Amino acid sequence: MTKEYRNHKSKYIPNKLVDVKTWQLSRKKFISGIFMASFLASLPSVSLVGNSFNKSDILSENQFSIVTSVQNILFPSDGNGPGAYDVMADRYLIWVLSDKRMDPEEKDYILNGIGWVDETAEENFSKTYNQLSQKEKEKLVADISNESWGSSWLSIILTFIFEALLSDPQYGDNPEEIGWDWLKHNPGHPRPTAYLLYPEILTTVSKNTEE
């Protein structure tokens, strides 16, 4: 196996995510073609206190544990406003990944990145990610943020935290408008009704015909 092939295979970054800084700044839409089958149906119950999810087929316990830990390092509950945990960014990410029409390349990249975090933990510390101390986890995130795959992957995880922080609480995140309150963010009005939320809106408007 050549080095080039091994790199491609082990840390493949989709073209659209390679130049992630440009991508973030110039692209209006973050994701192409997300269409979730049913947000509410796909997340039967969430307990914030126990952080217990019925994650079904979206993420394994190990994957979920790694990605939520990384989320909390990227956006900690540090006393200066809500953290990823407080805005339910974990639940929000499941909501994103549960989308059957999400661009498979982007979805794979997010899932693969979780595995690469674990691999890097083994390489750097000879431990799985979940065996690391909090300080070691933070060191690991700092290390991977300096790698090309790492900075783009962490950047994407951050973007979904921002969505959880600042989107309408009807999406199941930003509880009691905690994110809006922190940043004194003024959402526009009218706010969406249940039928106008994504992705329900696509069904709603598909029924529109003549006045």
Partner 1 sequence: MATNKYDICVIGSGAGAGPIAFELSKNGYNVVVIEKGPWFKTKDLSKDEIVSTRRNVYTPPLQDEQHVIESKNAEGDWESKSTYSTGRTFWNGNMVGGSTNIMSGYFHRMKPNDFKLLKTYGPIEGANIVDWPLDYNEMEPYFDKVEKIVGVSGRVVDHSTLEPRSNSSFPFPPLAENIASRWIDSAANKLGYSAVPVPRAILSVPDKKRSSCVYSNYCGSYGCSSDAKGSSRVALLNKALTTGNCTILPNSKVFKLETNGSGEITKSWHYDTEGNKQSIEADIFVVACQAVETSRLLLMSKNVDFPNGLANNGGLVGKNLIFSAGGTGSGKFRYDNLEKADAEQLKTPGLFVNRAIQNWYEIDDDEFPEKVKGGTVDFLFEHANGISKAIRNKWDKDGNLVYGSALKSKMKDYFLNQRKLNFEVFVDWLPTDDCFVSLDKNVVDKWGDPVAKIRIDNHPHDLEVGKYLANKAEDLMMEMGATDIKSSINGAPPTNLMAGGCRFGDDPKTSVLDRNCKAHEVENLYVTDGSFMPTGGSVTYTWTIYANAFRVADAILKRMKLNKLDE
Note the residues at the interface with partner 1 (CB under 8 A): 15-17, 21, 23-35, 73-76, 78, 80-81, 101, 103, 141, 145-146, 151, 154-155, 158-159, 162-163, 165-168, 171, 179-180, 182-193, 196-199, 201-202, 204-206, 208-211
Minimum CB–partner distance for residue 132 and partner 1 (Å): 17
Report whether 172 contacts 92 (CB < 8 A). Answer: yes
Minimum CB–partner distance for residue 182 and partner 1 (Å): 8
Minimum CB–partner distance for residue 126 and partner 1 (Å): 25
- In the complex with partner 1, the residue whose CB is nearer, 124 or 155, is 155
- In the complex with partner 1, the residue whose CB is nearer, 3 or 90, is 90
Q: At CB < 8 A and 24+ separation, what contacts does 142-148 make?
A: 144/116, 144/117, 144/120, 148/13, 148/18
Tokens standing for 111?
């899932």
Strand partners, 53: 46
What is the C-alpha to C-alpha distance for residues 140 and 121, in angstroms, rounded to an integer?
Answer: 7
CA atoms 198, 60, 104, 147: torsion sign: positive
- In the complex with partner 1, the residue whose CB is nearer, 32 or 128, is 32
- In the complex with partner 1, the residue whose CB is nearer, 60 or 185, is 185
What is the C-alpha to C-alpha distance for residues 69 and 211, in angstroms, rounded to an integer?
Answer: 51
Output the DSSP codes for 155-173.
Answer: HHHHHHHHHHHHS-GGGS-
- In the complex with partner 1, the residue whose CB is nearer, 24 or 112, is 24
